[in-house]
């Protein structure tokens, strides 16, 4: 974990209520896709934990959904604004378990961390298939970005207004074979993926956090391998250890 000041480079609306923010600063403390950062915002007591979408040595890209006052405040930040950020939080996805073909499944605000993962798996020569699930066409983002890096991309919308109608699991048939899954999204989606997939997999969970770095036990969960802190021992859990 590292604490440092980042400068907002850009902050744009990608889809209904969804923003992409590029932060300039030390990106080297991000060590794995699926990690998150914790941002201090003026006037708010707790930091805001947001998953890392992508990163480079001198930048971190995050995508966040406006769900409350903190993210509303973030949406108003302009280029040049400075933010106190804790980086390198959480375990992230283990890329070594991907096999030759990885199936990445993201739902809504769970899509972003899969982008950084897809990019790095493809760079390692792996085949990447991605299923992105949204409620409706207005909410779809990053479909083109995934395609541009060479991921075989499927989009589902619950109302059928874009891509395959239904939930992410409705695209499993179209996506075909795979060796390992990586998923991130709301818990009902993770559970559906867990039940629909036949391989090993990694699941990124969300929980209300206090500190985000393992000190307060605010986000604990029970697993088959003992109690874990979503912020420090997670957010990524492996399929075998999950207790629903």
Partner 1 sequence: MVKTATNLCGIEMSNPVIPASGTFGYGYEFAELYDINCLGTFSFKGTTKDPRFGNPTPRIAECPAGMINAVGLQNPGVEKVISEELPKLAKCFSKPVMANVSGFSVEDYAYTCEKLDKCEQVGWLEVNVSCPNVHGGGMSFGTSPEAAAQVTKAVKAVTTKPVIIKLSPNVTDIVSIAKACEEAGADGISLINTLLGMRIDLKTKKPVIANKMGGFSGSAIFPVAVRMVYQVYEAVNIPIVGMGGVSSAEDVIEMMLAGASAVQVGAANLIDPFVCRDIVNNLPEVMKKYGITDLKEIIGGAH
Residue matched to tokens 């982008």: 115
Tokens of 13: 């609306």
Q: Cβ of residue 41: shortest distance to partner 1, in angstroms?
A: 11
Closest distance of CB 108 from partner 1, Å: 16
Residue 46 touching partner 1 (CB under 8 A)? yes
DSSP structure string for 78-101: -TT-EEEEEEEES----GGG--SE
Rg of the chain, C-alpha, whole Å: 17
Residue 122 dihedral angles phi and psi, to the nearest 5°: -65, -40
Task: Give the binding range for partner 1 (CB under 8 A) out of 17-25, 140-148, 155-163, 219-227.
Answer: 219-227
244 binds partner 1 (CB under 8 A): no
Residue 214 engages partner 1 in binding (rule: CB under 8 A): yes
Nearer to partner 1, 198 or 243 (CB): 243
CB of 192 to partner 1, least distance (A): 21
Site membership for partner 1, residue 215 (CB under 8 A): yes
Going by the DSSP 8-state scheme, the letter that residue 242 receives in this structure is: B
**Count of beta carbons in the 10 Å neighbourhood of residue 120:** 18
Residues in contact with partner 1 by the rule CB under 8 A: 1, 3, 40, 44-47, 86, 207-211, 213-222, 227, 232
């Amino acid at each position: 974990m590292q604490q440092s000041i980042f400068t907002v480079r850009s902050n744009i609306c990608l889809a209904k209520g969804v923003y992409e923010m590029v932060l300039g600063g030390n990106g080297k403390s991000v060590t794995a896709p699926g990690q998150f950062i914790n941002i201090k915002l003026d006037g708010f007591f707790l930091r805001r934990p947001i998953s890392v979408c992508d990163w480079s040595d001198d930048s971190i890209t995050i995508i966040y959904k406006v769900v409350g006052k903190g993210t509303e405040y973030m949406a108003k930040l302009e280029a040049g604004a400075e933010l106190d950020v804790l980086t390198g939080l959480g375990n992230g996805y283990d890329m070594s378990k991907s096999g030759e073909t990885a199936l990445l499944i993201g739902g809504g605000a769970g899509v972003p961390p899969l982008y950084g993962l897809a990019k790095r798996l493809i760079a390692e020569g792996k085949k990447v298939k991605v299923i992105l699930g949204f409620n409706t066409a207005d909410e779809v983002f990053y479909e083109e970005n995934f395609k541009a890096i060479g991921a075989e991309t499927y989009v589902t919308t619950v109302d059928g207004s874009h891509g395959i109608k239904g939930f992410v699991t409705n695209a499993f048939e179209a996506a075909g074979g795979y060796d390992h899954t990586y998923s991130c999204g709301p818990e009902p989606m993770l559970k559906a993926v867990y039940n629909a997939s036949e391989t090993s997999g990694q699941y990124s969970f969300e929980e209300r956090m206090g500190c985000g770095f393992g000190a307060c036990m605010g986000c604990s969960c029970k697993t088959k391998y003992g109690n874990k802190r979503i912020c420090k021992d997670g957010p990524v859990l492996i399929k075998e250890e999950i207790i629903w």
